[in-house]
Structure 1
Amino acid sequence: MKNTINKLAIIGLGLMGGSLGMAVREKGIVRTVSGFARRKEVREEAIKRGAVDLVYDNIEEAVKDADMVILCVPVLAVPELAQSCLPYLAPGCVVTDVASTKTTIIASIERLFQNEKIYFVGSHPMAGSEQTGIQFARKDLYKNAVVAVTPTRRSRASAVKTVVNFWKKLEASPILLSPQEHDAIVARTSHLPHLIAACIVTSVFKEKNRKTALLCGPGFRDFTRIASSSEELWHDIISTNSSAILKEMRNFIVVIDRVTRMIENKDFAQVRDFLRRSRLLRNEWISSTGKNEHSKR
């Protein structure tokens, strides 16, 4: 396994892959960035936006002689594309991804690579947007983002180091988690909030009413922004992390029921105390992580 990355191949040139290529090329951390995209208009846009040096419509050319391959595609497409890449990967190649769930896809890919000198280490950058497509790519998407790197007992230590160092060079902050711990945590911090936002939109707009729409202010818009994300993307996320998500949904229902009882009992002092505690918890999170009110992370 090489200590330096001469050729990086990015498979999938949407928001995540396009932004990755732009960041890598700006920082000059590899010699060549090669990309793969099926659609001609995406390949043309990738060149136009400076996301790649070379771009192909076939995987063989994209990954040939690559030292590192990053799969920037929806969750359920990751194992499929890993399998498509495998016959053309050079021995010692390190493969990672940017998918939002880890346990299921890592198990599939480790079985696929088990007899090969190809090394997979999962990644999940906590960065992105409700928008999709390379037209929304930006070179600072990963800057200051936390990136979960999810090795297993089968992961090669040098491959883990390569992946961690790669994200550090993009000014991201990698942390090591097992795939199972990662999925349990993001079910609470990412997947549950997305479903809650979708439920709020569905509840508020259960009847078409222009007055209702007009009285949805900036707070409603900000709170429900993520409900505008791709349902196809989120289908894959939810279907591959359903057990952890169900656990968090049930815990959330307990909280909702508790607040409902406070209001039913007209115990508004308890409601006030609940709101105070939630405010303090949020402020503590903001202070401890260095995030600010305008961060997109």
Structure 2
Amino acid sequence: MNSPQTLAIIGTGMIACSLALALRKNTPKQFPHIIGYSAGDSCHQAKELGYIDQICSINEIFSQADIIILAAPLLINEQIISTSPAPQPHQLVIDVGSVKSSIMKVAKKYWQEHACHFVPCHPIAGLEKTGPKHANAELYTNKRIILTPDKHTCQAKIQQATKLWQTCQAEVHYMDAQQHDKILSKSSHLPHLLAFTIVAGQYQRDGKSCFEWSAGGLRDFTRIAGSDPKMWTDICLSNPTALKQTLSEFMQDLQHLQTLIEKQDGKNIQKIFQISKTARDNFYQEKDPKHSP
């Protein structure tokens, strides 16, 4: 990755533009030309902000770029793969989606042996805000990036993708795609679904009163309900097997808590709450002693 390369972004939102900013900041001579495409007006915003130099079509991107970042919503990324030319040996294609198994299947189906040049990636970083105006060159600093290659993925491409993220000061990890989807359904997808459901349900039943009479708890817990609805719809549709199991387990836990409340079983209610508090406090104390709760 020493010679200058053309970087391409398909889906010029906050995630991809932050990656472009970080790469340009840390290796200014490596990517002198960044091109981009988006179905909406974010591409023009990204160009005005200087995050990309040129707006191109998807076909132009696949013919001109050395590194291609798929950063559109998940189902759109899969559609792009199904209609785009297969990557060439000199090209690296990565994505930044929150579900890995489905897009890997699509890449193998349509790109066949050329899918070896595709390295699925998931940056465990982001905000509930969207759009290039929220891009931040420091977004990936000290954040975890999960790569989910399989035995068919080209080792040189895995190394290239790893170096790309390390250039952004990120911490790279490797995981099986199905394991990734199962873990993220619990650590990320479920919390988002709960936030969306709580806000939508209470607002539809009670209107603005649910916000007017809330303290910081509702606001803090449902912050992520401000995330992109299209992106999270695609995540739900792309990870149904893991989410079905995760939602089932959560509903069992919630039903158990409801039963304890009905029985006025304060001892076991408090026991659940204490387990939760201790687990959370210990985790964040170990992760960052200076900023533990």
Q: Structure 2 length normalisation: TM-score? A: 0.90
Q: SS of the residue aligned with 2:141?
A: coil
The range that moved more, 271-280 or 65-74, is: 65-74
Runs of 5+ unmatched residues, structure 1: none
Q: SS of the residue aligned with 2:85?
A: helix
The range that moved more, 55-64 or 262-271, is: 55-64
Which residue pairs with 1:140 in the alignment?
138
- Seen in structure 2, the aligned counterparts of structure 1 residues 202 and 45 have a Cα distance that, compared at 3 Å, is closer
Runs of 5+ unmatched residues, structure 2: none
- Seen in structure 2, the aligned counterparts of structure 1 residues 169 and 253 have a Cα distance that, compared at 3 Å, is same
Q: SS of the residue aligned with 1:207?
A: helix
Tell me whether 1:279 sits opposite 2:277 in the alignment: yes
- Seen in structure 2, the aligned counterparts of structure 1 residues 101 and 291 have a Cα distance that, compared at 3 Å, is farther
Contact 2:6-2:34 within 8 A present in 1 as well? yes
Tell me whether 1:68 sits opposite 2:88 in the alignment: no
The correspondence of residues 1-297 of structure 1 with structure 2, limited to 5 A, is 6-28=5-27, 30-38=30-38, 41-52=41-52, 54-86=53-85, 89-116=87-114, 119-290=117-288
Q: SS of the residue aligned with 1:9?
A: strand
The range that moved more, 148-157 or 89-98, is: 89-98
Percent of residue pairs identical: 27
Which one has the bigger helix percentage? 2
1:294 Cα deviation from its structure 2 partner: 9.8
Q: Structure 1 length normalisation: TM-score? A: 0.89
Alpha-carbon RMSD: 2.5
Letter in 1 for 2:49: R
| 1:27-55 alpha-carbon deviations (Å, 9 max, x no partner) | 12623342222468534422332312x22
Q: SS of the residue aligned with 1:152?
A: coil
1:134 Cα deviation from its structure 2 partner: 1.3
The range that moved more, 148-157 or 126-135, is: 126-135
Q: SS of the residue aligned with 1:86?
A: coil
Q: Distance in 1 between matches of 2:146 and 2:40?
A: 32
1:5 Cα deviation from its structure 2 partner: 6.2
- Seen in structure 2, the aligned counterparts of structure 1 residues 181 and 34 have a Cα distance that, compared at 3 Å, is same
Contact 2:284-2:292 within 8 A present in 1 as well? no
